């Protein structure tokens, strides 16, 4: 590729809202065999809403929601806002908390009125020695609907299962179809549970799912997918995507994402939707073909 053609290609990409931070990105995109994507905030809006709260015996709805929201008020995870908003909508007053702690990839905990309140994924509950089997059927059903089941433990007892649903962006499915039309495979890498991840993948026609990935595990998943398929582009928006963006042959950040993800990326999608990915790949193929 001549410097001129790359300049022209870079300009054309910018017109489509695709910012190329590195010249090589335009050359590498044409060779991409697989596009790996983060789920929350990339495929989905990243603004989940609380949809279900199922109580264990002996627990009361308003009390549980107020205690859980009090803890989540201190968390920055999108799930946390869904829970806090639900409590606000019910006009619940949240009690004061102390000793807040966030366990990345697992959940959050704090002490509320002298009682320990812990909220997170099933693996978090297992770590606490709590058995979530009581909610297994319900969790599987909600997961199959693409909702994410979470659990709340209060005073060391399993108190509730809470489900949140994060809507898929309207632009996601057409972008995945366009990637398939270009002959690429699409893989999803997420910290969310298997059921939910598979349900979302099914709705979108995603080829491969790597679920229940702990923070840090995304890099390993990228390495494995690269070895299996060849040149890989990774698309993500979060702080926890930065290492995977750096590890990919081409790192693509969602422009509405965190600064840390944008810093780690070779390409930035200004519009914040996935459509820029097939557009950029198609442009790369066209630009490079012209030069031979």
Asked about 38 being catalytic, the answer comes back as yes
Q: Which of 28, 44, 148, 258 binds ligand ADP (CB under 6 A)?
A: 148
3-state SS, residue 229: helix
DSSP secondary structure, 35-48, as one string: EEEEIIIIIB-S--
Stretch that binds ligand ADP, among 56-64, 73-81, 178-186, 263-271 (CB under 6 A): 73-81
Given the complex with ligand ADP, which of 192 and 266 has the nearer CB atom?
Answer: 192
State in angstroms the smallest separation of the CB of 270 from ligand ADP: 22
Q: Which of 215, 231, 239, 260 binds ligand ADP (CB under 6 A)?
A: 215
Residue 77 or residue 180: which is nearer to ligand ADP going by CB?
A: 77
| Closest CA relative to residue 188, chosen from 218, 208, 167, 216 | 208
Our CB check for ligand ADP shows the closer of 29 and 164 to be 164
3-state secondary structure 146-213: CCEEEEEEECCEEEEEEEEECCECCCHHHHHHHHHHCCCEEEEECCCCHHHHHHHHHHHCCCEEECCC
Distance CA 13, CA 11 (A): 5
Q: Which of 38, 122, 237, 249 is catalytic?
A: 38
Sign of the Cα pseudo-torsion (246, 247, 252, 258, in order): negative
Is the CB of 31 or the CB of 127 nearer to ligand ADP? 127
Q: What angle do CA 243, 245, 249 make, to 5 degrees?
A: 120
Q: Which residues contact Mg ion by CB under 5 A?
A: 38, 40-41, 237-238
Residues with catalytic function: 38
Which parts of this chain interact with ligand ADP (CB under 6 A)? Answer: 39-40, 72, 75, 77, 79-80, 105-108, 119-121, 148, 150, 190-192, 215, 238, 240
């Amino acid at each position: 590729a001549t410097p001129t053609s790359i300049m022209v290609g870079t300009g054309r990409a910018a017109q489509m809202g695709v910012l190329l931070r590195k010249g090589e990105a335009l050359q590498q995109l044409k060779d991409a065999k697989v596009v790996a994507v983060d789920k929350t905030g990339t495929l989905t809006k990243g603004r989940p809403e609380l949809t279900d709260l199922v109580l264990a015996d002996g627990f009361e709805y308003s009390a549980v929601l107020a205690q859980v929201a009090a803890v989540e008020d201190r968390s920055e995870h999108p799930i946390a806002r869904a829970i806090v908003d639900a409590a606000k909508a019910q006009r619940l007053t949240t009690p004061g908390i102390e000793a807040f702690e966030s366990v990345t990839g697992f959940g959050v905990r704090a002490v509320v009125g002298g009682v320990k309140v812990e909220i997170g994924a099933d693996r978090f509950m297992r770590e606490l020695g709590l058995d979530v089997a009581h909610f297994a059927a319900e969790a599987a059903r909600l997961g199959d609907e693409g909702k994410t089941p979470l659990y709340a433990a209060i005073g060391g007892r399993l108190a509730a299962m809470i489900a949140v649903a994060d809507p898929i962006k309207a632009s996601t499915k057409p972008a995945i179809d366009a990637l398939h039309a270009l002959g690429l495979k699409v893989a999803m890498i997420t910290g969310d549970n298997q059921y939910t991840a598979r349900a979302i993948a099914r709705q979108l026609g995603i080829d491969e799912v790597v679920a229940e990935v702990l923070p840090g595990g995304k890099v390993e998943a990228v390495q494995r997918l690269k070895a299996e398929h060849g040149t890989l582009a990774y698309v993500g928006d979060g702080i926890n995507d930065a290492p995977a963006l750096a590890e990919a042959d081409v790192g693509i950040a969602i422009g509405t994402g965190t600064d840390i993800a944008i810093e780690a990326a070779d390409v930035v999608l200004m519009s914040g939707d996935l459509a820029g990915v097939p557009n950029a790949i198609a442009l790369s193929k066209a630009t490079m073909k012209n030069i031979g």
